[in-house]
Amino acid sequence: MRAAKKKSPARIYVTFAVVLIVCGFIGGIAGYATLSNEFSVRNLGQWVNQILSSPGPWWFVPGLLMLAASTWLYIRSKRLLPQAMVDDEVFPRVNLLLGQSMFLTNLSMVFIFVAMALSYAASWGVSWSILLLLIQLVWVMAMQARIVSATKQLSPEKQGNIFDFKFQHDWYQSCDEAERQQIGQCSYRAFKITSMIYPIVLAVLAILSIIDLIAPAYSLLVGLLWLVQQFVYNYTSLKLDKARS
């Protein structure tokens, strides 16, 4: 375990104060600039909306490209799979390829839903969007099922069916101490990043809702997501503390 870099308390307090002042200053300028240029910001908002909706179903392209890359990685891993079953040197490489392939399918899933929200351009019509959405969803599910199946061949102790709603639970239960530690590290990093992003997004949305550029409901929505994240984290932490005391 890497030792934490030691900082003097004075430095920590000064950094904290400087960050607060800088953020407050930036927020103040952004709020003032938005309010004093309300009309321009409205035009900018409309322009952004037009730009976002104009590609229509082309919004599905990034997701499709990711899926193509994921499929390519999967095919590479599949070719090496028989060798990895018997050769301990090849095993980590195949495991990594499968992990990268799964990573891309998970990213493409997010892009699919973003594309679904942005792709309803009048010139293309909704039918194209729905068709592309269905194709991509089927592709994602098929890829994930195949990747999980290949991982199970490599690690027969792994449990869970991708189409089962208890898949994550079953998979986690079949993980050993090192894998659980890895899941914990990944979750910690995701928690750390999202905890930083939520207040920033909330502040930006609050400024935009002040001038009625967006509905206050957007701030509420992000606030609720942040609340869920904080509640689940803290509640789970308390529950674990209680179980240990």
Binding site for another protein (CB under 8 A): 1, 86, 88, 91-92, 95, 154-158, 175-179, 181
State the nearest-atom distance from the C-beta of 88 to another protein, in Å: 5
Give the CB-side neighbour count of residue 101, counting CA atoms within 13 A. Answer: 29
State the nearest-atom distance from the C-beta of 92 to another protein, in Å: 6
State the nearest-atom distance from the C-beta of 89 to another protein, in Å: 9
State the nearest-atom distance from the C-beta of 70 to another protein, in Å: 20
Residue 135 or 183: which CB sits closer to another protein? Answer: 183
Q: Are residues 82 and 154 in contact, defined by beta-carbon separation less than 8 angstroms? A: no
State the nearest-atom distance from the C-beta of 116 to another protein, in Å: 35
Residue 94 or 115: which CB sits closer to another protein? Answer: 94
Residue with tokens 């869970």: 160
d(CA 92, CA 84): 8
Residue 58 or 91: which CB sits closer to another protein? Answer: 91
Long-range Cβ pairs for the range 109-113 (8 Å, 24+):
109/63, 109/140, 111/60, 111/62, 111/63, 111/66, 112/60, 112/63, 112/136, 112/137, 112/140
Which tokens belong to 59? 């919004």
Residue 28 or 92: which CB sits closer to another protein? Answer: 92
Residue 130 or 152: which CB sits closer to another protein? Answer: 152
